[in-house]
């Protein structure tokens, strides 16, 4: 094994050792350690299963770009570009096309229907599909749904992933990846604001 990866949230939020933010994070030491373990389980898994490292970084670069948090967007874009520059360009182009402001989504018909807020459905471009392939294109379309329209999720959306070659376990990993990043990016954004205020 190489050196353990530095704490990614500390890195992205600019938490210096001995700083006020460092002491605040130290108050939730198990959360700090396990946010990093979650990152490691997703990006440096002991058993990668059916989801390749390239797929994981492509999805991460897409999620981070959609959230427009500069430090995390750059981190995952560079990580992907270092593995496959062409793929990084295609993912960045899809994120550019897919920009939106969530959360959107509908509710089961009833009283809450008054709060339904239809949002954009992302379809990967033909050009993007040629670079990404159908499996990764399906993953990015599902990722866009999870990022912006989480309450529009459906069994049919999961069937689209199965049809594109994702396994049941692979879908769990993909879902965790998008959901974890939705957490990580917000912790980074929140801690940066806390330090700046």
Partner 1 sequence: MTETVLTHPDNQEPTVFTQDELGWLPWLEPYPADQLTDRHFAGLVDPARAKSDYFRLLVRDPDVLQARTETDKDIFYNPEGGLPRAERELAATAASRFNGCIYCASVHSRFATVHSKRGDDVQRLLDEGVGADLGERWNAIVAASVALTATPSAFGTEHVRRLRAAGLDDAAIADVIQGAAFFNWANRLMLSLGEPQVRAQG
Q: Is 121 in the site for partner 1 (CB under 8 A)?
A: no
Q: What are 10's two structure tokens?
A: 């500390």
CB of 54 to partner 1, least distance (A): 18
Which residues are 117's β-sheet partners?
105
- Tell me 49's DSSP state: T
Where in 58-87 is the site for partner 1 (CB under 8 A)?
A: 66-69
Q: Is 4 in the site for partner 1 (CB under 8 A)?
A: no
CB within 8 Å of 194: residues ≥ 6 apart: 21, 24
**In this complex, which beta carbon is closest to partner 1, that of residue 54 or of residue 162?**
162
Buried b (16+ CB within 10 A) or exposed e, 6-25: ebbbbebbebeeeeebeeeb
**In this complex, which beta carbon is closest to partner 1, that of residue 33 or of residue 127?**
33
CB within 8 Å of 176: residues ≥ 6 apart: 42
Q: Is 108 in the site for partner 1 (CB under 8 A)?
A: yes
The dihedral built from the CA positions of residue 131, 62, 88 and 170, taken in this order, carries a sign that is: negative
Where in 10-39 is the site for partner 1 (CB under 8 A)?
A: 20, 24-25, 27-31, 33-35, 37-38
Q: Binding string, 132-161, against partner 1, x = CB under 8 A?
A: -------------xxxx-xx-xxxxxxx--
Q: 182 and 63 in contact (C-beta within 8 Å)? A: yes
Q: Is 191 in the site for partner 1 (CB under 8 A)?
A: yes
- The residue from 14, 112, 127, 130 that contacts partner 1 (CB under 8 A) is 112
Q: Binding string, 37-56, against partner 1, x = CB under 8 A?
A: xx-xxx--xx--x-------
Q: Is 176 in the site for partner 1 (CB under 8 A)?
A: yes
**In this complex, which beta carbon is closest to partner 1, that of residue 126 or of residue 155?**
155
Residue carrying structure tokens 């709060």: 115
Query: Measured between alpha carbons, how far is 164 from 143 in angstroms, rounded to an integer?
Result: 14
């Amino acid at each position: 094994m190489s050196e353990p990866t530095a704490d990614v949230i500390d890195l992205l939020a600019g938490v210096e050792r001995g700083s006020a933010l460092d002491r605040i994070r130290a108050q939730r030491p198990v959360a700090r350690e396990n946010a990093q373990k979650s990152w490691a389980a997703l990006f440096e898994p002991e058993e990668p299963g059916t989801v390749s490292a390239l797929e994981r970084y492509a999805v991460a670069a897409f999620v981070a770009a959609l959230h427009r948090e500069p430090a995390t967007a750059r981190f995952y874009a560079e990580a992907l570009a270092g593995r496959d520059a062409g793929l990084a360009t295609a993912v960045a182009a899809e994120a550019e096309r897919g920009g939106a402001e969530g959360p959107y989504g509908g509710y089961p018909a009833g009283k809450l229907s008054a709060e339904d807020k239809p949002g954009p459905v992302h379809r990967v471009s033909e050009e993007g599909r040629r670079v990404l392939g159908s499996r990764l294109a399906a993953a990015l379309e599902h990722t866009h749904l999870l990022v912006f329209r989480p309450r529009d999720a459906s069994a049919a959306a999961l069937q689209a992933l199965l049809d594109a070659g994702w396994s049941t376990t692979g879908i769990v990993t993909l879902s965790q990846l998008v959901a974890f990043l939705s957490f990580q990016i917000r912790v980074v954004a929140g801690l940066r604001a806390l330090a700046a205020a």
